[in-house]
Amino acid sequence: MQLYNNLSAKERAALIEKAGKDRLTISFYKYAKIKNTKIFRNHMFLAWNDLDVLGRIYIATEGINAQLSVPAENFELFKSHLDSISFLENVRLNIAIEHDNFAFLKLKVKVRPKIVADGLNDETFDVTNKGIHVNAEQFNELIEDPNTVLVDMRNHYESEIGHFKNAVTPDVDTFRESLDIIDEDLKDHKQDKNLVMYCTGGIRCEKASAYYKHKGFKNVFQLEGGIINYARDVKSKGLENKFIGKNFVFDERRSERISDDIIAKCHQCGQPADLHTNCANEACHLLFIQCDSCKEKMENCCSTACMEINRLPYEEQKALRKGQGNSNDIFKKGRADHLPYKKDLRNIFEKFPKTKVK
C-alpha cells in the first residue's frame, strides 16, 4: 500500500505533460479537532493519490491546511470525497484565478504540530471566538471607513509585490512576528478602531482574529477567503478592485496577477519588476525579485559569486556543499545584503505617529 510519493518532480512533470489534461489549483483550510492525525493523514493520501491530486497538505490536531492541484475532470470526485468527511462538508474552496498544470509536482501530506506556525499557545485563549467575516463588498465598504485600520497579515516578501490600498504591511519574515508588533502598535486604539485583516486565503486571519479579540480589540474583522476569494468575487460581481499588484502564492506559480500595477522593483537593478525567483545556486536558493534583463545577465543567480558556482559541473558544486550545511540565504526572502534594491526594512503605521520606525 503506497502511502508516500515515490516519483521525482521531473518524473511527475513528464507525466503531467504527457497526459495533456487541465488541472485546477485549489486551496482550503479548516480548523477542527482531529484525534488520530496519522490515520487521517493516511486516509487522505490514499484517496487523493487515486484522484491524481498533487500538493502540500498539513494536518494537525487543530485541523487541515491544503494547497493542491487536481485534474479538472476529477474535481467532482474530489469534492465528493471532501463532503464525505463530516467537518469538511461544503468547506470553502479557494480556486485560483490563474491555473498552472505544473503548480505542484508531488503529493505531500504531512502531520505537523500546527497547520500554521503561529507560535501561539492555544490553551491561553478561546480560538473559536473569531472576528467577523466580511465578503468583498462589505470589505470594500469597511476599508473606506476612516475609523478602520487595515492590516496585511502576510510577510514582507508577499506584500512587497501586491497589497490592498492604504494597508499597513508589517516588515516581518514570519506570521508569528507580526502578531505582537500589531498588538503593540495599535495598543491605544483597541476600543475605538476597526481592526480589519486579510491574508492569502484566510487561514492566518482565522487564528489572528481570535488572538486579537483575546488581547482586547473590540471590533475585529477578517476578509472571507482572503485575497484569492476577493479577486474572484470582484471579477464575478463587478466590484471595484482595491488590491494593487500581484498575490504571492506558495507553489511553482509564485504569484497571481490581480491588477496591472507593478509596485515592486528588481532587487538587482531597481527597475519595475514583481516576479520572484530562487537563486539557481542550490547552496543559496535565495528568493528574490529579478527582472528579465537581470535574469539573463545573472543567469538566474542573485550574485556573481553564485553565478560562478552555478557554472561549475554539478559534482563540483555538490563537493563544495559537502559538510558546509545550508546557506542562511536558503531561509531568507529578499533579505541578503548584496541585493542593493531589496525592500526598505521599515515598519511604519503612518496613521499612528507614536509608532516607532524600525
Catalytic site positions: 199
The pLDDT score that the predictor gives to residue 357 is 28
Mean pLDDT, the chain cut into blocks of 10 residues (358 residues total): 86 94 96 96 97 97 96 98 97 91 95 92 88 97 96 95 95 90 93 96 94 96 96 96 96 93 96 95 91 97 94 89 60 73 56 35
Overall fold of domain 123-237: Oxidized Rhodanese; domain 1 (3.40.250)
SS3 for the chain, per residue?
CCCCCCCCHHHHHHHHHHHCCCEEEEEEEEECCCCCHHHHHHHHHHHHHHCCCEEEEEEECCEEEEEEEEEHHHHHHHHHHHHCCHHHCCCCCEECCCCCCCCCCCEEEEECCCCCCCCCCHHHCCCCCCCEEECHHHHHHHHCCCCEEEEECCCHHHHCCEEECCCECCCCCCHHHHHHHHHHHCHHHCCCCEEEEECCCCHHHHHHHHHHHHCCCCEEEEECCHHHHHHHHHHHHCCCCCEEEEEECCCCCCEEECCCCCCCECCCCCCECCCEEECCCCCCCCEEECCHHHHHHCCCCCCHHHHHHHHCCHHHHHHHHCCCCCCHHHHCECCCCCCCCCCCCCCCCCCCCCCCCC
Domain 22-111 shares a fold with domain 123-237? no
Q: Where are the domains of the chain?
A: 22-111, 123-237, 276-331
The pLDDT score that the predictor gives to residue 325 is 57
The pLDDT score that the predictor gives to residue 333 is 66
Q: Are 37 and 59 in contact (CB under 8 A)?
A: yes
Joined together, the cell numbers standing for residue 56 give 502540500
The pLDDT score that the predictor gives to residue 356 is 31
SS3 for 267-316, per residue?
CCCCCECCCEEECCCCCCCCEEECCHHHHHHCCCCCCHHHHHHHHCCHHH
The pLDDT score that the predictor gives to residue 61 is 95
Q: What angle do CA 201, 223, 230 make, to 5 degrees?
A: 65
The pairing of beta strand 23-31 with beta strand 94-95: antiparallel
The pLDDT score that the predictor gives to residue 216 is 96
How far is residue 239 from each of residues 66, 128, 230, measured CA to CA in Å? 28, 31, 10
Q: Has domain 22-111 been given CATH number 3.30.70.100?
A: yes
The pLDDT score that the predictor gives to residue 351 is 46
The pLDDT score that the predictor gives to residue 332 is 56
Strand partners of residue 104:
none
